[in-house]
Chain A
Amino acid sequence: MASRADLKGKGKAGKGDDSKGTFIKSMKQWSTWCMKKAKVATQYGFIPLVIIIGMNTEPKPSLMQLLSPV
């Protein structure tokens, strides 16, 4: 019984270390995934965001002014 308790204790300690290691690993993977998505979002969305912010300031320019080359 004592040996089983020992094994249980060791098992728990082992799992504790493992969970910390896997936690850090998963944080790194998650942050890499986040950065990749943020990069794609910025590449596609930053300029439209600037245009939307600009079109909503006073005095509001019209859509024709945005699209015409003159």
Chain B
Amino acid sequence: MGGVLSFAAAPPPPLPPSAADRLPVEDTHKDDQSEKVEKPAGEVDWLNLPCPTSYDELQREAMMSLKPELFEGFRFDFTKPLNTKFSLSHSVYMGALEMPSQSPETFKVPTAHYEFGANFLDPKCMLIGRILTDGRMSARVKYDISENLTMKINAQLTNEAHFSQGMFNFDYKGRDFRAQFQFANNAFYGGNYIQSVSPHLALGGEVFWLGHQRKSGLGLAARYNTDKIIMTGQLASTGLLALSYVHRASEKATFATDFMYNLANREATSSIGYDYLLRQCRLRGKIDSNGTVAAYLEERINLGVNFLLSAELDHWKKDYKFGFGLSVGEF
């Protein structure tokens, strides 16, 4: 979610990574390819620029390569399709979850939970619901009101008071621009706009307003992509600068690096990683400037059966996390 950089709300207890986040997102890179008009090299059709990726997904390729869903413990995901459009999912997790704490030492709580989910996927309407054994529920709705206007609702509900969050988004897709308006439950209003200014470059900006804390913010973003490279930059008035660079060396290998600088407390974080998409497996590894080395392997044992291995070594804090799991039913 693109709001992460600029939206600071009361931190809710962390929800475990669920299959909902890994569902297929529309591949807009393919759209860029098909909308390129056949013109002799060097000539640009300024009236027919391709539609840019949406503002939330500016850094999608970098996030996918550099931030896999690392976990600690044992995980088992089972997706059972009942229909081409409808499926149920069962997910079991046993391990230690890290509780956000103010002190520098990590505070881990051993937990085990079962998550039940139902997914309904239609070209026009997508409904995903997940519920945990402790009552936490997450719901996602994506509905195409018309060909260009989409409504998305994202809600995380808990039994504890004041920790529930809900967000409504309205997205409008123009010929070479996208506009989005969002509002969330604790008086958060935001909007963003991104426009293609050349066949490879898109520029955009966002504005948000937090009602309860009377904070407002502005952000600017730019994305430059060709077949081989994708460069993005984002600057927010909250004092965050995020740059990323993704290099697609071949169909099977991608390298990515990102840099984040916090102007308020003068902290910089940088990470570099690789993403190998091989026939039987997908291997992602990264190293961080915080002294963290992480790797995530998804090995395809059989059609629909994937074996997962996750490792995250934080040498600075001396925190080592290893996880293994099995994922059945995700093709």
State which residues 54-70 of A face B: CB under 8 Å.
54-55, 57, 59, 61, 65-66, 69
With a cutoff of 8 Å between Cβ atoms, the chain B residues found around residue A49 in the complex are 127
Q: Which of B86, B131, B139, B155 contacts A55 (CB 8 A)?
A: B86
Secondary structure of the B side of the interface? strand
Q: Please measure, in the bound complex, the distance between the C-alpha atom of A59 and the C-alpha atom of B82, giving whole angstroms.
A: 9
Beta-carbon contact of A51 and B118 below 8 Å? yes
Is A15 interfacial (CB 8 A cutoff)? no
Bound-state CA distance A47–B157 (Å) is 13
With beta carbons under 8 angstroms apart, the residue of B83, B88, B135, B155 that contacts A42 is B155
B residues 102-142 touching A (CB-CB < 8 Å) = 116-120, 127-129, 131, 135, 137, 139
CA distance A9 to B185 in the complex (A): 42
Taking A39-B164, A42-B155 as contacts, is the C-beta distance between A47 and B118 under 8 angstroms? yes
Report B143 CB to chain A, min CB distance, Å. Answer: 12
B86 proximity list for chain A (CB < 8 A): 53-55, 57, 61
CA distance A53 to B118 in the complex (A): 10
Dominant SS among interface residues on chain A: helix
Number of B residues near A (Cβ < 8 Å) is 22
Q: Is the CB of B118 within 8 A of A50?
A: yes
Complex: chain A residue closest to B136, CB-CB: A43
Q: Whole-angstrom distance from the CB of B160 to the nearest CB of chain A?
A: 12
> Which residue from chain A places its CB closest to the CB of B185 in the assembled complex?
A35
Q: Which residues of B contact A65 (CB under 8 A)?
A: 82
Interchain CA distance A46-B137 in the complex, whole Å: 9
Contact of A53 among B116, B120, B164, B185 (CB under 8 A): B120
B315 at the interface (CB under 8 A from A): no
A47 with B129: CB separation less than 8 A: yes
Q: A50-B118, A53-B127 are in contact. List 9 more A-B contacts (CB 8 A).
A: A42-B157, A47-B129, A54-B86, A54-B120, A57-B85, A61-B83, A61-B86, A65-B82, A66-B82
List 4 A-B pairs, minimum CB-CB distance, nearest first: A54-B86, A61-B82, A47-B129, A50-B118
